Amino acid sequence: MLKKYLIYAKRYMKPKLSEVDQNKITQFYADIRRESSTVGGIPIAVRHIESVIRMSEAFAKLHLRDHVRATDVDMAIEMLLESFLQSQKLSVSRQLSKKFEKYKFKRQDATQLLLHTLKRVIEDRAHYTRVIQGVDSLTQIHMRIPQAMFTTEVREFAQHSLHDFYKSPAFTALYKIDGNDIITINKV
């Protein structure tokens, strides 16, 4: 399936940059070129910017889009920036990192995605329980699932600790964690 996906993306997707995206890349190039020359680091070349354009198009192609979005450009800029900072001396890297904080991609809060995934896991567990018990609907108010089951489901996109998610108001309004590491629904 992955092979077919990649073949389709290579063959049919030809994403294009818009004028807005090019201006953002141009501004990034001017800023990073100016700062890297003033702090005595390794200078950035035009080839670096060409690679930002290619990476932006590659991100759009992976998502099967015909045009490059601002998030694609942001991801490409952040990737180039991190690579560039790692190639600098430590003191230069720290200075540049602070100055280019605005170019780092701001990831959105994953709480809503985690809540949706948790709801789906609980619904799947409830369906499984109904089938095993041979009933049309569950009469019990609380549905329990092992915390490890949820952790396994979200390991791909929840790279951070789930500890903050479990303490979030969105989670505590509907769920709680039992002492046995089992997630319980408070309200149906």
Domain map of the chain by residue range?
A: 2-103, 111-185
What is this structure's pTM?
Answer: 0.55
* Paired strand residues for 184: 144, 176
Is residue 57 exposed (0-12), middle (13-18) or buried (19+ Cβ within 10 Å)? buried
Dump pLDDT digits (tens) for 115-167: 888 888 888 888 888 888 877 665 555 677 888 888 888 876 665 667 778 88
Dump pLDDT digits (tens) for 54-96: 999 999 998 998 888 888 888 899 998 888 888 888 877 887 8
The one-letter amino acid at 157: F
Q: Give the separation between CA 56 and CA 179, rounded to whole angstroms.
A: 46
pLDDT at 188: 40
